[in-house]
Amino acid sequence: MRDLQRQVNETLAMITARWKRSPRIGLICGSGLSRIIEPLRPEAVFSFDELPHFVPSTALGHAGKLICGEWHEMPVVAMQGRLHFYEGYTLAEITYPIRVMKSLGVEILIVTSASGGMNPQHRPGQIIVLDDHINMMGDNPLAGWNDDELGPRYPDMSQPYDVELSNRAIEIARQRGIVLQKGIYVGVKGPNYETRAEYRFFRMMGADVVGMSTVPETLVAVHAGMRVVGLSTITNVCLPDALSPTSGQQVIDVAHKAASQVRQIIDGLIQTESRNYHSELFRD
């Protein structure tokens, strides 16, 4: 997409006409997790339909809004609802909002999702902080022409999820009595949940959780030089030898119940960033 920067500038013009702030933190709400942004005080809200070059969200439980506002005295931009590969969009379309967030000033991206847990110790409602991922989507948002101004042709992926921020998330969770363990996420296209043989295969590959998102956004965010934290709520436990059926509604319901814990972790991360930012200002 050779004219990506021009398109981003057009979207940016629409956002900055109504919101003049420069957010350092961006957030993506996963399935059933729209409540995690309750503490965000909205200052400007855009529906994906009204933003140039955004595509509308069609997924169950995804509102399709870009919310710009303040959280712990920090400007924050959040996607309430996300775009998925299974909706029929290209990975470039799905990750376009990440390019927009980057040009607004975002340095830290918090990506949340729902996932199936394949580790026998997992329980529904438990949250995982992503340590790494495996791309099984059969495509890559960075394929095609590369704009060297936006990021390198061959980006390093040795540590896609920021270690310091992930460890901070674990410490915040510990202080609040929330169990938070590291895990490896395998990203698939969907939209069906996996067969028993697929869950077994993904577990053998070394993955702990499986989901239909996160990987494309993380790839683009890392390409753009952002620090990424990934939080995933296990909505269904997928043990191939004793597999219960799963539905989209079940995934949304379990994620919805766990949302307050995800919100507490994010709240702690933003509070720490706000303290760091304001003490830096004070030092200058």
Measured CA to CA, the distance from residue 21 to residue 70 in angstroms comes to: 10
| 236 binds ligand HPA per the rule CB under 6 A | yes
Assign residue 275 a region (left: φ > 0; alpha: ψ between -120 and 50; beta: otherwise): alpha
Minimum CB separation of residue 54 from ligand HPA in Å reads 23
Applying CB under 6 A, does 33 fall inside the site for ligand HPA? Answer: no
Binding flags for ligand HPA, 59-98, as an x/- string (CB under 6 A): ----------------------------------------
Locus of tokens 């989209």: 248
Query: 49: buried, middle or exposed (CB in 10 Å: 19+, 13-18, 0-12)?
Result: exposed
Query: Residue 189, class by beta-carbon neighbours within 10 Å (0-12 exposed, 13-18 middle, 19+ buried)?
Result: middle
Q: Which of 23, 26, 64, 116 binds ligand HPA (CB under 6 A)?
A: 116
99 vs 113: CA distance, rounded Å: 19
Q: Is 185 in the site for ligand HPA (CB under 6 A)?
A: no
Provide DSSP, 250-265: HHHHHHHHHHHHHHHH
57: contact with ligand HPA by CB under 6 A? no
Q: Cα(239)–Cα(27) distance, rounded to whole angstroms?
A: 31
- Environment class of 6 (CB within 10 Å of its CB; exposed 0-12, middle 13-18, buried 19+): exposed
Q: Which of 132, 161, 193, 261 binds ligand HPA (CB under 6 A)?
A: 193
Cβ proximity to ligand HPA: between 11 and 119 the closer is 119
CA dist 195 and 164 (Å) reads 36
> Which residue in 28, 58, 51 sits closest to 228, CA to CA?
28
Region from 58-66, 114-122, 136-144, 222-230 binding ligand HPA, contact rule CB under 6 A: 114-122
Binding flag, residue 7, ligand HPA (CB under 6 A): no
Residue nearest to ligand HPA (CB): 116
Nearer to ligand HPA, 57 or 236 (CB): 236
At its nearest, how many Å lie between ligand HPA and the CB of residue 244? 11
Q: Is 235 in the site for ligand HPA (CB under 6 A)?
A: yes
Q: Give the one residue of 93, 194, 208, 217 binding ligand HPA; rule: CB under 6 A.
A: 194
Give the DSSP per-residue string, 72-127. Answer: TTEEEEEEES---GGGT--HHHHHHHHHHHHHHT--EEEEEEEEEE-STT--TT-E
Q: Is 124 in the site for ligand HPA (CB under 6 A)?
A: no
- Tokens 């909706």 locate to 87
Q: Does 251 bind ligand HPA (CB under 6 A)?
A: yes
Q: What does the DSSP 8-state code read for residue 284?
A: -
Q: In the complex, what is the shortest distance from the CB of residue 61 to ligand HPA, in angstroms, rounded to a whole number?
A: 11
**Is 246 a binder of ligand HPA (CB under 6 A)?**
yes
Which member of 74, 76, 110, 238 binds ligand HPA (CB under 6 A)?
A: 238
55, 79, 114, 130: which one binds ligand HPA (CB under 6 A) = 114
Residues in touch with ligand HPA (CB under 6 A) = 114-116, 193-194, 210-212, 235-236, 238, 246, 251
